[in-house]
Amino acid sequence: DTEVTQTPKHLVMGMTNKKSLKCEQHMGHRAMYWYKQKAKKPPELMFVYSYEKLSINESVPSRFSPECPNSSLLNLHLHALQPEDSALYLCASSQEGRYGYTFGSGTRLTVV
């Protein structure tokens, strides 16, 4: 299995809702990442987990809460989001960063 699987593919949520994005990889990669991508912009790093521990938080608002339950799973919990948080959320994994990242297909999030 050489894929990163993200669910759901599409999500519409209200500003008072709580939802979660899920990401799974079975390549034995030690690091997992969340990126946010707005339309016609490059992906922007949000969080990095290395060996299941949060190693980088790019000053992301607390309404985004990451969780890494085990080495294969990565969640992003969402609460009280704003319409400007609407974007494509990408998950990625790597064994050793300099050898390449594998990206999932993303979750298209719309906040209404």
Partner 1 sequence: EDQVTQSPEALRLQEGESSSLNCSYTVSGLRGLFWYRQDPGKGPEFLFTLYSAGEEKEKERLKATLTKKESFLHITAPKPEDSATYLCAVILPIDKLIFGTGTRLQVFP
Using CB under 8 A as the criterion, which residues of the chain lie in contact with partner 1 when the complex forms?
4, 6, 31, 33, 40-45, 48, 50, 55-56, 88, 90, 92, 94, 97-106, 108
Residue with tokens 């990451």: 66
**43 or 66: CB nearest partner 1:** 43
Taking the complex as a whole, the smallest distance from the CB of residue 42 to partner 1 amounts, in Å, to 4
Contacts of residue 29, Cβ cutoff 8 Å, sequence gap at least 6? 93, 94, 95, 102
Token pair for 9:
């593919």
**18 or 26: CB nearest partner 1:** 26
For residue 60, the one-letter residue type is V
Of 81, 83, 89, the closest CA to residue 63 belongs to 81
Residues 106, 95: Cα–Cα separation, whole Å: 20
